[in-house]
Amino acid sequence: MHFKKEFNFVKMSKAAFIFSIVLTIAGIIALAAFGLNYSVDFRAGSNVDVKLAKNVTKAEVQPLLDEIGIGKDATISPGDKRVNIRFTKELSEDQDSQLKKAIQQLDDTASFEINTVDPGMAKELGRNAIYSVLISCIGIIIYVSIRFEWRFALAAIIALLHDAFMVVAIFSIFRLEVSLTFIVAVLTIIGYSINDTIVIFDRIRENLRFGKQKTREDLANLLNHSVNQMLMRSLYTAFTVFIAAFFLFLFGGESIKMFSLAMVIGLIFGAYSSIFIASPLWLYFKYKQKPKGKAVKPSKA
């Protein structure tokens, strides 16, 4: 596809900024109000996933747990031929094997996945996750600053933090489970969504070399032109990864469902932010620089 008509992204970015700001505020409110729905990875306890040959109900599982004395703090969520049970306390080895035996009474083909995380470990995993996000961002800032200039780096970082936060916000609003793989997804989005931004920035940089941009209009036109030139490229590259993530979400293994969903959401926001957030932000920073030039030689026409 090739558009003859050029879109005015500078104009459209105003609406996009408002949209993103509203979503950010909603995300902050959601985070403050209900926080995140942490999995055992970050809040300690045990998570049991059981694959069964038939469907079971909560009422069937509860008494089995009560019998072993672990029924009190269990959250049972049955699914299609599977059941998930979460315990806020870590299961001991004995409880672990008792639980397996009990559920195998229901269905002897039951296959389990049990994750147990101790509170110290949960804290550590959480801390490492935050470190990873911070260090990744610093690494990207340094790299983009070296290859481009700080205005590009700053705009790119704001855009990718925006992408990451949007995913977190949506997971908070919809109470989706946040596990270690979620952090992996957020980090991958941080690393990947900037690709699109860089492709566009690269073009802006290239176009900047061709002419002298004297006025704000010149700059705005240059940006519009650059984004239009790269539009399909940006969308296609995001689309191929989106396909991969989307099919993973649809058909992939249960334990990476939330990971794939986070990727899908992040990719959409990544493509959106490269065009509507990162590029206009760069323009904004560039404007700030321009008035100086104007002040030196005011036009006295």
Partner 1 sequence: MKRLATFIIVVLVAVGIMAWSTPGLLDRVRLGLDLKGGFEILYEAAPLEQGQKVTKQSLTRTAESLEKRANLLGTSEPEVTTEGTNRIRLKIAGVTDEAEVRKKMKEPASLTFRSAEGCKAPDANTADKDKYCKVELVGSDFVENGASVGYSNLNAPVIDIKVKDKKKFAEITKRLLGQPLAIFLDETMLSDPTVNAELTDGKAQISGNYSLDEAKKISDTINLGALPLKLTEKYSQSVGATLGKQSLDKTIESGIIGSIVILIFMIAMYRLPGIIASFGLIVHTWLLILVFVWADFTLTLPGIAAFILGIGMAVDANIITNERIREEIRNGRSVMSSVKAGNKSSLRTILDSNITTIIVGAVMFAFGTGAVKGFALVLIVEIVLSILTNVYFTHYLLSLLVKAGLLKKPKQFGVKESEINAL
By CB under 8 A, residue 77 contacts partner 1:
no
Using the contact rule CB under 8 A, the part of the chain among 14-22, 64-72, 103-111, 279-287 near partner 1 is 103-111
Give the residue, chosen from 115, 145, 221, 228, that forms a contact with partner 1 under the rule CB under 8 A: 115
Strand-strand pairing, 45-51 and 74-79: unpaired
How many residues at the interface with partner 1, by CB under 8 A? 71
What is the maximum alpha-carbon separation in the chain?
91
Give the residue, chosen from 62, 84, 132, 145, that forms a contact with partner 1 under the rule CB under 8 A: 132
Closest CA to 84 of 113, 37, 49, 38: 49
By CB under 8 A, residue 38 contacts partner 1:
no
Structure tokens at 45: 């306890």
Strand-strand pairing, 177-178 and 37-38: parallel
By CB under 8 A, residue 254 contacts partner 1:
yes
175: Cβ–Cβ under 8 A, 6 or more apart, which residues?
Answer: 34, 37
- Tracing tokens 């690393």 back to the chain, one arrives at 191
By CB under 8 A, residue 215 contacts partner 1:
no
Give the residue, chosen from 9, 171, 242, 276, that forms a contact with partner 1 under the rule CB under 8 A: 242
Give the residue, chosen from 16, 17, 237, 284, that forms a contact with partner 1 under the rule CB under 8 A: 237
Q: Which is nearer to partner 1, 219 or 261 (CB)?
A: 261
CA 212 to chain centre: 38
Cα angle at 22 between 18 and 27, to 5 degrees?
145
Give the residue, chosen from 35, 135, 150, 289, that forms a contact with partner 1 under the rule CB under 8 A: 135
Pattern of binders to partner 1 over 269-298, x per CB under 8 A?
Answer: ------------------------------
